[in-house]
Chains A and B, each alone.
Chain A
Amino acid sequence: MYVAVKGGEAAIANAHRLLADRRRGDRSVPSITIEQIAGQLGLAVDRVMAEASLYDRSLAALAIRQARGDMIEAIFILRAYRTTLPRFGTSRPLDTTSMAIERRISATYKDLPGGQMLGATFDYTHRLLDPSLLTDAPVEEPALRQPDDEVSLMRVSEILAQEDLIEADGELPADHVTGDLTREPLEFPMSRDLRLQALARGDEGFLLALGYSTQRGYGNAHPFVGEIRIGEVEVEFDVPELGFAVSLGCIQVTECQMVNQFKGSAKAPPQFTRGYGLVFGQSERKSMSMSLVDRALRATELGEDITAAAQDEEFVISHSDNVQSTGFVEHLKLPHYVDFQAELDLVRRMRRDFEASRQAGNDDDFMEAAQ
């Protein structure tokens, strides 16, 4: 039962005023700009865009500032904003083979065509706090090197495919209509396209933990990073008034092909199978986690036993969205006065009954002892 309660307006208004003050912080320190957040906290912006499921660097930076750096709050704000906009349509599928590569590595082939490019990575850093960043010390320009002439950066999966040792890219039946969880309520079992949409916007921490669990034996994983590539791809959109697809511009994405050894089953021969990860922005950890979980969720399709949480799509997909999760967890702090009064009343009654029966029991014992 809900009862309307009034009286909090002044407190709420003042709380919001206090929030604005705390957000601004010390007035003698210059306030942070959207350009600074977008330019210097780029990976935070990437995370907000990926989990808000909306690619817009400026708006994500604004959300981070507004949320005082609380990432889930920023994601929530950006998600809420996207619901105010009409949808013009659907892009052509991104062509990640024609990506302008910023980073591309493989853990399975040392000498893959096109080479391994480390890009801007934290790998091989020593994770020691860097005091030079306490000051605004000048930073060197990046090193340059003449790139190879237009080497086609073939996917690692294509190398294995030449030996017929890896499954094909995931196909769905020809009459399958691409699902969209922003339009239709979730239903289980779910097709792989919908699962990937859910994972792409899923909480990085949740997916990381699940991916880790598959490596520790909860699930059936023998994963190798076939390839990770980060870079810019064109977004092509069919414009009916022009009658052809045009470019809307470029977005940065991270793609992970996770190759998994597979012993074979009644449904498929021994071969390598794959999990796939594709995420907005530079989000290597997220794309790797996504590909691990994608592979684990294919257990039924590949005839594997479902023994672990990461293989249970209803468990994974129902709990992967951090806006949904935070909504339900945080609603507990809202007034439940009436619910609680009812519970309090119930517990008091049960306690009275309990005391009464214990008293009766004591009396019986006394009687028995007396006899």
Chain B
Amino acid sequence: MTMKTEALTGGFAEPVHQAQGVFKLMMDGMARPGTIQTVGGGGTVPPAPLGIAAGAIALTLCDHDTPVWLSAQLASPLIADWLAFHTGATVTQEKAEARFAFIEAGKALSSFGLFSIGTQEYPDRSATIVIEIANFENGQLLSLSGPGILGTREIRPEGLPDAFLRLWADNRVLFPRGIDVVLAAADRFVCLPRTSKITVREI
């Protein structure tokens, strides 16, 4: 079936420069966990409900060699076609095969366990999970520490999946294996590499 026009539009207007720009933001974000990165509009209009930041990250990092897993609301033929046309990536039903996963806002998470965590020899063969949340202002105050953070850094993500902090603690134990997370809200994102420790700050 020929793709619909909506699947063919809304990509980067200038793929090389925009992808380089977002890649730089991702590198900065991963190097400095907890900092808020803003991709801006730039004409990127991913099909709903995929957010602008999540869509820009997909356009930047996904390609033919990175199967993508989508949560229920994102797993529409339109989004699959959009990813296929603009990045070459295919959507997989198998979490274990996915190099990237995109999870809609408000989705309950029971475990990261089925996603690939890499191996002791190749810890890079793991999944990066992009989770859409509500915003970075109104949530619970969390304190991050670890590589890339001098002392601690605070974030206030609203709309984290309920079990997230427990799942994250389980994930850190696996080091050097483990998944990496990107929290995305509209056109902004925050990176949480597997090395970051998260503690709840009592106010």
**Are B2 and A89 in touch, CB under 8 angstroms?**
no
When distances are taken between beta carbons in the complex, the residues of chain A under 8 Å from B84 are 240-241
**Are B88 and A241 in touch, CB under 8 angstroms?**
no
**Are A86 and B3 in touch, CB under 8 angstroms?**
no
Quick one: which of A87, A89, A240 contacts B3, CB cutoff 8 A? Answer: A240
Interface presence of A88 (CB below 8 A): yes
Contact with A along B45-72 (1 / 0, CB 8 A): 0000000000000000001110000000
**24 A/B residue pairs, CB under 8 Å, sorted by A:** A86-B63, A86-B64, A86-B88, A87-B63, A87-B64, A87-B65, A87-B88, A88-B88, A89-B64, A89-B88, A90-B64, A183-B65, A240-B3, A240-B81, A241-B2, A241-B3, A241-B7, A241-B8, A241-B81, A241-B84, A241-B85, A242-B2, A242-B3, A243-B3
Interchain CA distance A123-B15 in the complex, whole Å: 51
Q: In chain A, residues 216-272, which have Cβ atoms closer than 8 Å to a Cβ of chain B?
A: 240-243
Q: What is the CB-to-nearest-CB distance from B97 to chain A, in angstroms, rounded to a whole number?
A: 9
Task: Please give me the 9 A-B residue pairs with the lowest Cβ-Cβ distance, nearest first.
Answer: A240-B84, A241-B3, A243-B1, A89-B64, A87-B64, A241-B85, A243-B2, A88-B88, A89-B88
Q: What is the CB-to-nearest-CB distance from B197 to chain A, in angstroms, rounded to a whole number?
A: 31
Q: Work out how many contacts link A and B, with CB atoms closer than 8 A.
A: 29
Q: In chain A, residues 72-90, which have Cβ atoms closer than 8 Å to a Cβ of chain B?
A: 86-90
When distances are taken between beta carbons in the complex, the residues of chain B under 8 Å from A242 are 2-3
When distances are taken between beta carbons in the complex, the residues of chain A under 8 Å from B8 are 241
Interface residues on A, range: 10 to 19
When distances are taken between beta carbons in the complex, the residues of chain B under 8 Å from A241 are 2-3, 7-8, 81, 84-85
Interchain CA distance A86-B81 in the complex, whole Å: 19
When distances are taken between beta carbons in the complex, the residues of chain B under 8 Å from A89 are 64, 88
Total interface residues on B, CB under 8 Å, equals 12
Q: In chain A, residues 179-196, which have Cβ atoms closer than 8 Å to a Cβ of chain B?
A: 183
Interchain CA distance A97-B81 in the complex, whole Å: 33
Interchain CA distance A243-B8 in the complex, whole Å: 13
Interchain CA distance A88-B89 in the complex, whole Å: 9
When distances are taken between beta carbons in the complex, the residues of chain B under 8 Å from A86 are 63-64, 88
When distances are taken between beta carbons in the complex, the residues of chain A under 8 Å from B1 are 243
When distances are taken between beta carbons in the complex, the residues of chain B under 8 Å from A90 are 64
User: Most B CB atoms within 10 A — which of A241, A242, A243?
Assistant: A241
Q: In chain A, residues 100-146, which have Cβ atoms closer than 8 Å to a Cβ of chain B?
A: none
Interchain CA distance A183-B1 in the complex, whole Å: 30
**Are B63 and A240 in touch, CB under 8 angstroms?**
no
**Are B85 and A240 in touch, CB under 8 angstroms?**
yes
Q: In chain B, residues 1-51, which have Cβ atoms closer than 8 Å to a Cβ of chain A?
A: 1-3, 7-8
Interchain CA distance A243-B81 in the complex, whole Å: 10
Smallest CB gap from B87: residue in A = A86
Smallest CB gap from A185: residue in B = B122
When distances are taken between beta carbons in the complex, the residues of chain A under 8 Å from B3 are 240-243
Interchain CA distance A241-B8 in the complex, whole Å: 8
Contact with A along B76-111 (1 / 0, CB 8 A): 000001001100100000000000000000000000
Q: What is the CB-to-nearest-CB distance from B88 to chain A, in angstroms, rounded to a whole number?
A: 6
